[in-house]
Amino acid sequence: MALWNAAYERKEAMTTEERLSALWRRFLERVGAGDLPPRPEGLRPVPEDFAALGPQLFRAQLLSRLLDVAARRLQPEGRIFYTIASAGHEGVAALAAPLKVGDMAFLHYRDGAFLVARALLAGVRGEAAPDDIVRDMALSFTAAKDDPVSGGRHKVLGSRELLIPPQTSTIASHLPKALGAAFSIPLARRLRPEGRVLAADGIALASFGDASANHSTAQGAINAAGWTRHRGLPLPLLLVCEDNGLGISVPTPRGWIEESFTHRPHLHYMRADGADLADSLAAARDAVARVRQGQPVFLHLSTVRLGGHAGSDVESAYLSSVEIAAQEERDPLLHSARLLIEVGALTTDGIVAMARAAEEEVMSKMLAATRMPPLETAEEVMASIPPFPSGARERKGARGQRSGDRPAAIPAGEGDRLTLARALNLTLAEALAERPEVVLLGEDVGRKGGVYGVTRGLQARFGPARVMDTLLDEQTILGTAIGLAHNGFLPVPEIQFLAYLHNAEDQIRGEAATLSFFSNRRFANPMVVRIAGLGYQKGFGGHFHNDNSLAVLRDIPGIVLACPSRADEAAAMLREALRLAREERRVVVFLEPIALYNERDLVAPGDGGWTFPLPGAGARIPFGEIGIYDPAPTGKAAEGFDIALVSYGNGHRLCRQAQHDLAARGMRARVIDLRWLAPLPVEAVMEAATPCREVLVVDECRPAGNVAEGLVTAFAEEAGRRVHRLSAADSFIATGPAHAATLPSRESIFRRAQALLEA
């Protein structure tokens, strides 16, 4: 076939497609001529069973290489849309041999040979496996709608049957969740969550490149692995650094990875030659045996990158012809062929025959995949973003809950009226008592009970395995939660302050929230992320402890952002958040206004108007349902309301105060509490605002990218109605007497509403 007939010749500007095709031709020619590189000295002995196992691993290497060759050939024709080759990294096929399908694997994007090898070996062992892994990978390469991994949304390596969650860009962002998955395995043996997935003796593998090893997520996860072992806890985690010496075009200094990771505390360092299948296999077996005993291992696998980084990258722009030739001499296919001949597993003719058969199989399946229909409509693309059709939102487009419709209260142990912080504490205790899969984790949540005491007493009652103090690293906190969710737990991680989320927002944006999208709903990371935030703290803060911007959370497709403002609603909303995570597999961010944690008064000091009874057991506020608070009856007939004050969090309480002040001047204001900030309950808000002459959206966050901007736009586009907004100034927040100077206040809300009504 024309695809395989490119003649091999060294060019200074050889395209990636030309080079991979030439390498394939060169491989066949050198095998036929017996011109194979010698085995380097100092490697591990060839395993005794290599003659039996080697051919299966070699076939996986061949299939992976040929998928790369075919993809690069078809990309210029517009039949392949994204290419990043595994060529040169095929030694990772050896890692699949000592692992079981019950060992979760988070893969580097160059690990096509591992995916193929795991599928082939699973079939031999009688484990669950895809029917045809080459066909499945071809469908992913061609972005076909029938791709069983992502449903045509991206070229990713993954498989539900093989317990390989797909990764979209492995700049080490998957290491924290691999850490969490490994941590969950011994924890699940103790707590036995109903939905656990990983085997009791399983391990978690994470592979990544040498350049990614420098990323903060990698450094944080590896540090956390040592920290965990230092505390005497088992951690069955295998970290595989595939070192090809390049970060796209930037060389990794020779010896840097070994020097950086050889002496890490509680992390066992090993190295192997990734071009030598036998050395990789022996090292993998040793590493896996150690990991199954709870010892994390860093396996440094020296590899080579053949054919450029990705897409149209041409290596000759930054590598000399001598460097390129040296890479090609370490081609894993050449070294595997020589090993198989030496141990008598295959003859030269047998290798060529196997290669030709693989060539025919890959090309036929890749061409068949190019004829399969792709995704076409927005609805098809978005079908894997929650909520799913089967997710049955309880009250879609809920009209709202009026202030007089409170659920029946139950005794709370401190009288009937509670602060927001106490209501959250009791609700978390309720969740921990009812569901063994619920675990709380975060810095200071245990013995201290959190910075503001919200989790006080929970660790003493439920134990450190359910309420876990973590190290100070938000990436590790959220990544651990993602990994726990992979194994049947319902994690409730806490981020101490909203500003601290920015250290780790990609764990939500790039990992937890996208997993369902890129796995076509086959994987999800259900969790409820508790974050203390927003402004109005009087004696403590500055912009690191009073962050008033939600833009980073509001633009992530599929996540739910909840913000309670009072005790009873906080309890009912937290119950709903836990239900959304448990039943609909949602990622929920539960934003708790710090300044309202211990607030007791509403209109005047000592009135106790901001304490409320805990709602009855099981009472929830359904996702999307708003709160509606009308002024007290005046005894005279009135049609409609003068103004609607729409807000959330601290703004809700301030609007209630302004409502009181407006009423004293004969003006009727309806207060609407959004509660749910993403997705915004636009339809319910517009309906609730219908009987109001004017609408003022009060947003304690900054003008750009926050709630008021979204609501005002929605009113204009969907209702053709003019709506006003009062937002915080475009400023950070100060500490001290000026802590609220840039924020909406009771007085500013009253003045703005009065001005609108008098205009």
- In 607-661 the beta strands, taken as DSSP E runs, fall at 627-629, 641-647
Q: How far is CA 647 from the centre of its chain?
A: 30
212: helix, coil or strand? helix
Q: Which residues of 510-519 are buried (b: 16+ CB within 10 A; e: fewer)?
A: bbbbbbbbbb
Q: Which residue has the tokens 């030269």?
A: 348
Cβ pair 188, 196 in contact under 8 A: yes
Instruction: Please give the single-letter amino acid code of residue 192.
Output: R
* 8 A C-beta contact, residue 221 and residue 176: yes
| Residue type at 342 in one-letter notation | E
Q: Find out whether 300 and 264 touch, Cβ atoms under 8 Å.
A: no
Phi, psi of 91 (to 5 degrees): -60, -20
Q: With contact defined as beta carbons under 8 Å apart, do 351 and 31 qualify?
A: yes
Rounded CA separation 278/82 (Å): 32
390: DSSP letter: G
Closest CA to 110 of 24, 178, 170, 70: 170
The count of residues in the chain is: 759
- The DSSP code for 409 is B
Report the sign of the C-alpha dihedral through residues 417, 422, 424, 425, in that order: negative
Strands across the sheet with 237-243, in order?
A: 104-106, 204-209, 237-243, 297-302, 268-273
What share of residues in the chain are helix, strand, coil (percent, to 5)?
40, 15, 45
Other Cβ atoms closer than 10 A to 609: 18
Per-residue tokens: 595: 């300044």
Peptide bond just before 55 cis, omega within 30 deg: no
**Alpha carbons 322 and 10: distance in angstroms, whole number:** 11
- Tokens at residue 303, please? 């590899």
- The candidate with the shortest Cα–Cα distance to 523, out of 579, 480, 483, is 483
Element (H, E) at 67: helix 50-74
Q: What CA–CA distance (Å, rounded) separates 554 from 510?
A: 14
User: What's the distance, CA 51 to chain centroid?
Assistant: 41
| Vertex 442 angle, CA 699 and 425, to 5° | 70
What does the radius of gyration of the chain's CA atoms come to, in whole angstroms?
30
Annotation says 268 is catalytic: no
Q: How far apart are CA 289 and CA 270, in angstroms?
A: 13
Q: Are 465 and 458 in contact (CB under 8 A)?
A: no
List 215, 309, 545, 652, catalytic entry:
545
Task: Answer for the pair 649, 593: CB distance below 8 angstroms, yes or no.
Answer: yes
How would you class 568 by CB atoms within 10 Å of its CB: exposed for 0-12, middle for 13-18, buried for 19 or more?
A: buried
Q: Which of 137, 187, 181 is nearest to 163 (CA)?
A: 181
Angle at 316 between CA 311 and CA 318, to 5 degrees: 95
Active site residues: 545
